[in-house]
Amino acid sequence: MNEILKQLEINETFYIQFALFGVFFLVLRELYLKPFQRLIEKRNQRLKDDVEGSAELLKSIEARVAEFEGAISKTRAEAARSFESNITQVREREDAAINKVKEEIKKDYLKAVHDLQEEKLKVESELKLQLAGVSDALAQKILTGN
């Protein structure tokens, strides 16, 4: 083995250099690598927390959207009921107005019929009077010979 080490030119300085390299590595790891590792871990933890916060925020937003959609559908249903109620009221008022106009037309028609009957009776009585006058005049003419 000594021969192999001699051919490779490995002697005790190699072991000392190796030990120094190990000590140097441990010191560098403590001074430089661990702080970087802690920074990376903190960054990863912040990212993880942000992702969890985003998921919670998304759930909250979805809940609010569902709440708003429920409120919108409720409002639409109320608007539809109100619309139907208004349509019903308008139709009832329209029917009442039409019935009132029909009643007025019926009253006017009955009054016109009554007035026509009275006028007819007046005309008949006048005609009877005139007929009586004409027949009296005719009778006198016949009697007098004219």
**What does the mean pLDDT of the chain come to?**
91
pLDDT at 14 (0 to 100): 77
Task: Indicate if the pLDDT at residue 94 is higher than 90.
Answer: yes
Residues in the chain: 146
pLDDT at 5 (0 to 100): 67
pLDDT at 138 (0 to 100): 86
pLDDT at 1 (0 to 100): 65
Mean pLDDT confidence for 58-77: 96
Q: Cβ contacts of residue 11 below 8 Å, gap of 6+?
A: 5
pLDDT at 29 (0 to 100): 86
pLDDT-above-70 percentage for the chain: 98
pLDDT at 143 (0 to 100): 85
pLDDT for 3-28, tens place per residue? 776 777 777 777 888 899 999 999 98
Helix or strand run (H / E) with residue 28: helix 12-28
